[in-house]
């Protein structure tokens, strides 16, 4: 028995080290956010409080908190169409404004999208702002560019300009930002799939995996 004692001790130390390392790994992992059941986007009382595309009865809902001046958000937006096409009627998408203070034009861009939304062109402006992000985010004439984008989308420019400065549009953006802050969002993009945050690193593969897991999950009783 004494012959094997050193090996037993080495094995025990190894197991203890592995267990300790595992505990430290889980302790250091960032906690993922989860939207409380009494605070889901589905319980909003008016469609005007959120921008949605996709089937209203889809089994999976993506809720994104985004910033139009955020480069990772733009890259994700460029690939999101493929994700939506791939899952078709199984998916609905909600976009929430979360302009970051470090992006000087993000707040104004959010107002642009909201003002376009008042004329039924939110998603068109959403896509255009991300597509042209490298242009307007570096410009000293952002308002003129935003007006030109509104013209490209066929918006009523007088109404668009008035909405840009209206307290109602500013309140809509602030409402989204508050929702994100209340949920613990602090960076963009932050994405929830069926109320569970998609863990970083956030890319199309991670989002697809989260959607597929949500589709396979058994519905709550």
CA–CA separation, 142 and 147 (whole Å): 9
Asked if residue 8 is part of any domain, the answer here is no
pLDDT digits (tens, 9 = 90+) for 36-79: 654 444 334 344 468 999 999 999 999 999 999 999 999 999 88
**Distance between CA atoms of 182 and 139, rounded to whole angstroms?**
32
Confidence at residue 39, expressed as pLDDT on a 0 to 100 scale: 41
Pairing of strands 91-97, 196-197: unpaired
> What pLDDT score was predicted for residue 200?
87
Q: What is the Cα 216 distance to its own chain's centre?
A: 22
Is there a contact between 116 and 169 (Cβ–Cβ < 8 Å)? Answer: no
Query: Residue 58 is encoded by which pair of tokens?
Result: 């889809």
- 3-class state of residue 105 by DSSP: coil
CA-CA distance, 216 to 75, in Å (whole number)?
27
| pLDDT reported for residue 194 | 97
Amino acid 3: pLDDT: 55
pLDDT at residue 51, rounded to an integer: 95
Spans of the chain below 50 pLDDT: 1, 5-29, 38-48, 221
- The pLDDT of residue 81 is 85
Residue-wise pLDDT for 201-219, tens only, equals 899 999 999 999 999 995 6
Q: Is residue 9 part of a domain?
A: no
Instruction: Please report whether residue 14 resides in a domain.
Output: no
* Residue 133 belongs to some domain of the structure: yes
Domain for residue 6, yes or no? no
The boundaries of the domain holding residue 164 are 37-216
User: Domain of 54: which CATH number?
Assistant: 3.40.30.10
Residue 88 lies in a domain: yes
Confidence (pLDDT) at 219: 62
> How far from 94 is each of 47, 195, 219, CA to CA, in Å?
11, 12, 21
Pairing mode, if any, of strands 190-193 and 60-66? antiparallel
With respect to residue 17, please indicate whether it lies within any of the assigned structural domains: no
Whether 69 is covered by a domain: the verdict is yes
pTM above 0.85, yes or no: no
Nearest alpha carbon to residue 94 among 175, 182, 191: 191
Q: For residue 64, give the nearest of 97, 39, 35, 38 by alpha carbon.
A: 97
Sequence-distant (6+) residues with CB within 8 A of 211 are 60, 62, 83, 87, 90, 91, 193
Q: What is the pLDDT of residue 22?
A: 42
The total domain count for the chain is 1
- β-pairing verdict for 91-97 and 60-66: parallel
């Amino acid at each position: 028995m004494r012959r094997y004692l050193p090996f037993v001790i080495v094995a025990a130390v190894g197991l203890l080290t592995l267990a300790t390392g595992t505990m430290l790994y889980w302790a250091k992992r960032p906690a993922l956010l989860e939207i409380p059941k009494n605070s889901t986007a589905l319980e909003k009382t008016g469609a005007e409080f959120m921008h949605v595309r996709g089937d209203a009865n889809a089994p999976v809902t993506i809720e994104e908190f985004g910033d139009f001046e955020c480069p990772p958000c733009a890259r994700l937006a460029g690939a999101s169409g493929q994700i939506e096409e791939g899952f078709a009627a199984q998916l609905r998408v909600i976009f929430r404004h979360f302009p970051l203070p470090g992006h000087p034009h993000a707040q104004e861009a959010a107002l642009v999208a909201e003002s376009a939304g008042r004329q039924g062109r939110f998603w068109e402006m959403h896509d255009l702002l991300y597509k042209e992000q490298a242009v307007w985010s570096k410009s000293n004439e952002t308002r003129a560019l935003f007006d030109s984008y509104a013209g490209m989308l066929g918006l009523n420019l007088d109404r668009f300009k008035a909405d840009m400065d209206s307290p109602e549009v500013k309140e809509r953006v602030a409402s989204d930002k508050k929702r994100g802050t209340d949920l613990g969002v602090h960076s963009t993009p932050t994405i929830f799939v069926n109320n569970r945050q998609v863990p970083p690193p956030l890319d199309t593969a991670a989002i697809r995996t989260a959607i597929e897991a949500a589709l396979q999950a058994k519905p709550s009783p």
